[in-house]
Amino acid sequence: MAGVVHFEIPADNMSRADKFYNAVFGWKIEKVKGMEEDYHLAYTTEIDKKTMMPAKPGSINGALMKRSDSGKHPVLTIDVPSIDETLKKIQKSGGKRLTEKQKVMDMGWYAYAQDTEGNVIGVWETIPRKEAVAVRA
């Protein structure tokens, strides 16, 4: 069973959204070095410094992102074993591929798709740690 591993919340004003989620929920908001200026990580729970994953089982972290035509509503991202196979399944099941898969540093692959109800979802494939180390080298 594939689990939800990330969320994205669109914002018209990044600074205002950062302040809101920090003030209301205590989330730590952090701009990501080497990524788009309008994409800020939202830490909702403590992370394991070794794996950079949530330390508390069942918790997820996410991001605030600049609102766009394709990103008008929050997006849930689902962890999959193969992004290519999942995108094929989405299309075969009546959904649509919205983007090609994109590499996110040495962490994994990401793509947006649309379900049969018009909702945008993210799919994520983690690069195994051995491969991630090799990618950095």
Instruction: Please tell me the pTM assigned to this model.
Output: 0.76
Q: What's the burial of 50, exposed, middle or buried (CB within 10 Å: 0-12/13-18/19+)?
A: exposed
Largest CA distance in the chain: 43
pLDDT tens, 79-116? 999 999 999 999 999 999 999 999 988 889 999 999 99
**Domain boundary assignment for the chain:** 6-68, 80-137
Report the CATH fold assignment for 80-137.
2,3-Dihydroxybiphenyl 1,2-Dioxygenase; domain 1 (3.10.180)
CATH for 6-68, options being 1.10.10.1150, 3.40.50.300, 3.40.50.261, 3.10.180.10? 3.10.180.10
